Structure 1
Amino acid sequence: MSLRLGERTFGTLSLIWPPVFHELSESEEAYLRETAERLSVRLGRLADNGVSMTPPRFPLVMSGQSEAVAEDGRLSPREEQRSLSHGSASFVFHLRMLGMALMGATRTRDAAALTIERLINGFQAQAVAISLTEADRLHVVAASGCPKEYLKSLNGMHIGKNSPETEAIVQRRVVFEPQEEALPRGDGQTADSRDELTWVVIPLIAGDHALGSCSIGFTPERGLIAAEETPLSSLSTLLGETLERTQLYDAQYALSQKLQQALLPRMLPQLAGVLTTSRYEPPAGGIELGGDWYDLISLPDGGVAAVIGDVQGHNIAAAVAMGQLRSAVHGYALEGHDPSTVLYRTNRLLIDLDTELFATCACVWLDPATGTAQVVSAGHPRPLMCSVRGACETAVADIGVPLGVEDNPSYQASVHTLDPGTLLVLYTDGLSGRQGELAQETVEAALAGSGVELEVLGDRLMESGAGQAPRADDAALMLLRYEGPSRQVNESVRRLHVHRHDLQGVRRARRLLNECLETWHLESLTDSAEVVTSEVVTNALVHADSDLDVCLRRYPGRLRVEVRDSDTHPAMLVDLGADKDKAEGGRGLLIVSALASSWGNSPSGRGKTVWFEIQAMDP
């Protein structure tokens, strides 16, 4: 029923009869209308006195028998106790709301977060820990209000160990722990220590098995209400079936991510005369495979080819076709063909594969020795070209038909001469959205905010392309900055390849660094640069378990070092507390952060790039 007073509407009056629907009589309807009118008057009085009418996120659910509500909208102590005695109605209401919220959850972490939020704010729980079984052990997926010691003991607990959680899982029943028998689980940081709680441990039931447990700590009064096993059985089934569904989704999502990453380049080559970075993001929250790809190819004649494309569809067929097209473009380019011929032959291949799919693709063939760039497009958005001053324009190029559409298409290359410092932006429509082409103003704004740092620019463009809503399509981005004729910049760029099991790799990197610093007259940077380079290379060899590409670049007044590997996990700073002062590991990036003028790490191909710069001191 609507709660209205004059022209003001405050909300509605809703009633719940657990467990079955109750059909109202005429007298009951009349009573409810009178009650709604009286309630509207009282709400109007509260509003006139300055009480906010904004509803809470989690409403207070109480017995319909209560009448003693104070003028400030709070329950009297007597009615507070009475509301506890009618906790079953509150439980049913919040259980229903939790069920509605979990219907839209697709990831385990999201479902667990929604559950804990409702248990704490709706069910008035004091502490919650949700754990799932992995093989024969428990794994904590989310918790709130529990001490580290308890979570540490619960995480990794063998299913055969005697505990309330394992008992609930093995016997598939609710385990009730009265206050006097409960194990220490509270944080003990308040006057009424949460160690003094009544605990209820429910199994997470899905079908004929239990996949985990949910431990809930209540005050003794609320615990007595929660001990009613019938409504808790409903919660047990709701959480169990939801988390089983989200676990399956998580597994499918992880599999699709691994397949997608396997089809992208392991790492982009680092070449003299060009500075590059790349980004890829799958559709937000989905398990569909994307068809976007990119590649950077070192050509036989000393040039470099930047390629980006998008295969129609978001399924396994599109992902397989994407891998085939990327391999075809790469192979044709290494044979020495020009970009128009490469796209023509790739189109023939896609038609012969008989996939009934089409794809778009844009290519840039760049000669670093002269700055000459050939741009060709097969139905793909044209690259943006940005000057050193930050002004951007769309490259002039004919847009041919997409690959896989016509038997004998014609792809015409347009030729541009790039000035040193020119930036090329290649992207897919997942970044630009429905407008097809990325707005020049968007790139110019990102350039103004990121300066000369290409990695920061890549992050800003991906963020701006995401907008306010979750990304519905996958998106790929490649940035290429032409630094000048390779015969000039070759003297300022040195590279080193380190094999994953090369025990002398760090020593060789230091030796190359010292040689470069002496040649470049940057000996003043030796101490700091040697320490930081050693830490970054060592960190990559230890944690990435992949080959490394180390690149040293000299710029006016600064040194830049880039280390690329094929591990997708970003390098992270470790917070070492006082109790870990003597730890041997975890300090590498802290040293990098302290000694480098700037540093960062970002995705690059299937792996990442960890980079740092050190400014030369003024003489």
Structure 2
Amino acid sequence: MVDRGASALSLPDDWPAHPDPILALNRMGSFDWDLDSGLFQMDAQAHEVFDVLPEEYNGHPETLAMRVPPPEAIRLDTLVSQALKDGSENYGAYFRIRCRDGTLRWTHTQGYIRRDETGRPRRIIGIVRDATQELSERAARREQAAHFQARRHQTSVVQLTTAALAHARTVQDVIDVLEDTHGLTHLGATSLVMGLVEAGRINMVAAGPQDSYVPGTRITRMDAQYPMNEVVRTLVPHFIESPEEFAESYPLLWPHITDLKITSAAYLPLIVQARPIGAIGLLYNDRHGFSEEDRNVLLALGSSIAQSLQRAMFYEQEKDLAKGLQQAMLPRSIPSVPGADIAVRYRSASLGRDIGGDWYDVIPLPGGRVGAVIGDVQGHDTHAAAVMGQLRIVLRAYAAEGHTPATVMARASVFLKELDTERFATCLYAEADLSTGVVQLVRAGHMDPLVRQPDGTCRRQPVEGGLPLGLSADFGRLEYPVSTFELDPGQTLVLYTDGLVEQPGVSLGEGVRTLRELVGTGPDDVHDLADRLIEVAEERGGDDDVALLLLRRRGLTTHQTGGRFQQHVAAGDPEALALARHMVRAAVDAWGAGERADEIELVADEMITNALLHTEGSAVVTLRVLTGSDRRLRAEVEDSSSALPRRREAGESGVSGRGLLLVDRLTDVWGVEARGGGKVVWCEFIVPERD
């Protein structure tokens, strides 16, 4: 204690004259320290606190050295000296004393410094008390707080893991969460293993840290002597509290994991609806034993993992069902079409339980033609998929029957209305003549197609449109205008559904522009290009499915036009009619029609005459020579009338009515196609090459 060099003075026998009863009741002793004299007077309770007898104490602080160990005395002296120097009014400290029996006991003192008018310290009065109980209570509170903190940490383990698992859709997602290093940190484990029950065996699906599988444990029989197998069989968790217990319980497994320095482990069955679906094992190298609360937390964790796994399994089952049903509704294979390279792709929606109504189809047609269909039934469920399948089949049937594209679309709309469903569908039907490159397009509320040039540039091909299928029949508006354009060799027609261009926060126009850029910068091969577009759709995700059809007309090396003549013939213009006839003769001579020259000229003249006589307006005459498996000469007469020609018996004069009979008898194949607001009557002659 602080030594002020006080002179020896006798202690007053009656100090303190009036002991404070409140202090006494609280087992607190008081002292009065005269800094000038150095006397340190204590009451009877203070003597008890210091465990000294009155006759053992002479009023000087040095006498208490028998009770205050030197380190504690130095610490107290330093504290008091600093308080006296820096002008403090009080000080307080906990220190230990050595009792008469040799034990150490915590004591607390609080001193109040009295100073004169100059600020000089003259006196300290204060209290001392036994602080053992107080510090014990503090220690208990700290222990309780630490225990509470541990409980909070254990609870957070479940919460953090559950939060991470909430985003897991598939079983692999659950495995990734648990195998992840941070996942192990959350769980507080050194290593983790998880197995699922499959066909009466335990299939090890996860082991962390990564690639820490024990040889021979990937697939094990249910009766194998491993901890996971045991908890699956018994449905009872197994808590292993020491290395010795582990080695004794599972001698086959222990030698393989000794390098992990495992001190304890918890194996939990993963139970859903009273049925085990697997087990999980958590291995620790810093834990010895499990309290009751530890076990409860781990059981809650196991339950959370089991629920996540069940949810993931249901999700995958629904996804497989949806994908299987959707694929069953789509064409099983795409036919090989001479003169074209065709690629189709389908991507299901990212939500596993949703089944889309998107579809594609390719329909081989007579005369070197092919039909290409892309469509989307409203909704994302099994009903939409069922409607899609029926609609695809009837549309294919109508096209194969030889109906014009507008009629195919109108009949499909009526069929959808008669299904008595509330669904409608958007659709785009393209009928392409691969010999001439002429493509007729009919659009029912669908998106315009794109056309990619051989040099990579890509443009939108505008198509006049009608109402979606089903709605047009409801409103009695079954007229579908036909748009026509020529697909040159090397050009690619791109048909797609809106899932390829629609993105949250992005306008439809911007989505189409992005698609045009992707198509323009993509690979030349249609299959590679289709893969690229679907990859982008996969990366972007989305809740809508995607159907895609690419049709590329092959170049001249495979199926080429050997030349083309075209003449416009106005109604009532004899000179133009004569020029057209002259053009036909010149083309026939130039292409060496041989013995069929007269037939070709006669049929072409009849087609031109019919167009001028039975329609209002002009006609366009086109002659082409086509080379492929057979060399053919094709004649086309296009007019602005939508009325289709029909065969009829010759009139009484025996002159009128023989036009189509001649065309039918003299040509190898002929037909009529809608073209915009009008039509084209065409015919072909097989013409051998000249020697």
Instruction: Say whether the fold is shared (TM-score over 0.5).
Output: yes
Structure-2 change in CA distance of 1:336 and 1:165 (3 Å): same
In the alignment, what sits opposite 2:302?
A: 236
Counterpart amino acid of 2:528? V
CA displacement at 1:86 relative to structure 2: 6.6
CA displacement at 1:401 relative to structure 2: 0.3
* SS at structure 2 position matched to 1:193: helix
Larger radius of gyration: 2
Q: TM-score, normalised by structure 2?
A: 0.54
Counterpart amino acid of 1:145? P
**Structure-2 separation of matches of 1:226 and 1:193:** 28
Corresponding position: 1:433 with 2:496: no
CA displacement at 1:270 relative to structure 2: 2.2
Counterpart amino acid of 2:331? P
Corresponding position: 1:124 with 2:170: no
In the alignment, what sits opposite 1:340?
A: 406
Structure-2 change in CA distance of 1:410 and 1:186 (3 Å): farther
CA contact (8 A) 2:237 2:269 kept: yes
CA contact (8 A) 1:186 1:194 kept: no
Higher strand share: 2
In the alignment, what sits opposite 1:587?
A: none
Counterpart amino acid of 2:238? V
Match of 2:554 among 483, 505, 522: 483
CA contact (8 A) 1:174 1:232 kept: no
In the alignment, what sits opposite 2:209?
A: 145
**Structure-1 separation of matches of 2:560 and 2:344:** 22
* SS at structure 2 position matched to 1:287: coil
Match of 2:175 among 108, 112, 115: 112
Please, which runs of 5 or more residues in structure 2 have no aligned partner? 1-137, 562-691
In the alignment, what sits opposite 1:413?
A: 482
CA displacement at 1:88 relative to structure 2: 4.3
Q: TM-score, normalised by structure 1?
A: 0.60
* SS at structure 2 position matched to 1:402: coil
In the alignment, what sits opposite 2:200?
A: 136
Corresponding position: 1:203 with 2:269: yes
Structure-2 change in CA distance of 1:230 and 1:261 (3 Å): same
Structure-2 change in CA distance of 1:198 and 1:322 (3 Å): same
In the alignment, what sits opposite 2:518?
A: 446
Alignment of 1:351-366 (within 5 A): 351-366=417-432
Counterpart amino acid of 1:286? G
Structure-2 change in CA distance of 1:433 and 1:247 (3 Å): same
CA contact (8 A) 1:433 1:465 kept: no
In the alignment, what sits opposite 1:311?
A: 377
In the alignment, what sits opposite 1:98?
A: 161
In the alignment, what sits opposite 1:563?
A: none
CA displacement at 1:466 relative to structure 2: 5.3
Corresponding position: 1:473 with 2:544: yes
Structure-2 change in CA distance of 1:147 and 1:392 (3 Å): closer
In the alignment, what sits opposite 2:322?
A: 256
Aligned sequence identity (%): 32
Structure-2 change in CA distance of 1:450 and 1:406 (3 Å): closer
Structure-2 change in CA distance of 1:304 and 1:486 (3 Å): farther
CA displacement at 1:485 relative to structure 2: 6.1
CA contact (8 A) 2:161 2:187 kept: no
Query: What are the superposed Cα offsets for residues 248-279 of structure 1, whole Å, 9 maximum, x if unpaired?
Result: 22212211111111111112122221112122
CA contact (8 A) 1:260 1:290 kept: yes
CA contact (8 A) 1:339 1:376 kept: yes
**Structure-1 separation of matches of 2:315 and 2:536:** 28
**Structure-2 separation of matches of 1:291 and 1:187:** 56
* SS at structure 2 position matched to 1:258: helix
> 1 or 2 for the larger relative contact order (CA 8 Å, sep ≥6)?
1
Structure-2 change in CA distance of 1:238 and 1:439 (3 Å): closer
Structure-2 change in CA distance of 1:146 and 1:173 (3 Å): farther
Counterpart amino acid of 2:184? I
In the alignment, what sits opposite 1:5?
A: none
Counterpart amino acid of 2:527? E
Query: What are the superposed Cα offsets for residues 184-207 of structure 1, whole Å, 9 maximum, x if unpaired?
Result: 879989xx9326463321111223
Counterpart amino acid of 1:377? R
In the alignment, what sits opposite 1:350?
A: 416
In the alignment, what sits opposite 2:230?
A: 167
Name the count of aligned residue pairs.
410
CA contact (8 A) 2:231 2:279 kept: yes
CA displacement at 1:171 relative to structure 2: 1.6
Query: What are the superposed Cα offsets for residues 373-424 of structure 1, whole Å, 9 maximum, x if unpaired?
Result: 1111100001111111222221121111000013241111111112111111
* SS at structure 1 position matched to 2:472: coil
CA displacement at 1:233 relative to structure 2: 1.3
Counterpart amino acid of 2:243? Q
Counterpart amino acid of 2:155? V
Structure-2 change in CA distance of 1:398 and 1:298 (3 Å): same
Corresponding position: 1:367 with 2:438: no
CA contact (8 A) 1:274 1:482 kept: yes
Instruction: State which drifts further: 130-139 or 251-260.
Output: 130-139
* SS at structure 2 position matched to 1:111: helix
Counterpart amino acid of 1:488? H
CA RMSD of aligned residues (A): 3.3
CA contact (8 A) 1:185 1:195 kept: no
CA displacement at 1:449 relative to structure 2: 4.1
CA displacement at 1:288 relative to structure 2: 0.9
CA contact (8 A) 2:362 2:371 kept: yes
CA displacement at 1:156 relative to structure 2: 2.9
Structure-2 change in CA distance of 1:381 and 1:447 (3 Å): closer
CA contact (8 A) 2:263 2:288 kept: no
Match of 1:422 among 485, 488, 491: 491
**Structure-2 separation of matches of 1:484 and 1:65:** 89
Counterpart amino acid of 1:132? L
Alignment of 1:24-103 (within 5 A): 87-103=150-166
**Structure-1 separation of matches of 2:494 and 2:253:** 54
**Structure-2 separation of matches of 1:443 and 1:231:** 51
CA contact (8 A) 2:445 2:466 kept: yes
In the alignment, what sits opposite 1:384?
A: 450
Please, which runs of 5 or more residues in structure 1 have no aligned partner? 1-63, 69-78, 491-619
Query: What are the superposed Cα offsets for residues 408-446 of structure 1, whole Å, 9 maximum, x if unpaired?
Result: 411111111121111111100111106446755434432
Counterpart amino acid of 1:471? G
Counterpart amino acid of 2:380? H
CA contact (8 A) 1:360 1:380 kept: yes
* SS at structure 1 position matched to 2:219: coil
**Structure-2 separation of matches of 1:411 and 1:65:** 88
* SS at structure 2 position matched to 1:154: coil
Structure-2 change in CA distance of 1:452 and 1:84 (3 Å): farther
Alignment of 1:181-200 (within 5 A): 181-182=246-247, 193-194=259-260, 196=262, 198-200=264-266
In the alignment, what sits opposite 1:294?
A: 360
CA contact (8 A) 1:392 1:440 kept: no
Structure-2 change in CA distance of 1:207 and 1:107 (3 Å): same
In the alignment, what sits opposite 1:51?
A: none
Structure-2 change in CA distance of 1:283 and 1:440 (3 Å): closer
Match of 1:158 among 197, 213, 221: 221
In the alignment, what sits opposite 1:330?
A: 396
**Structure-1 separation of matches of 2:558 and 2:228:** 68
CA contact (8 A) 2:154 2:294 kept: no
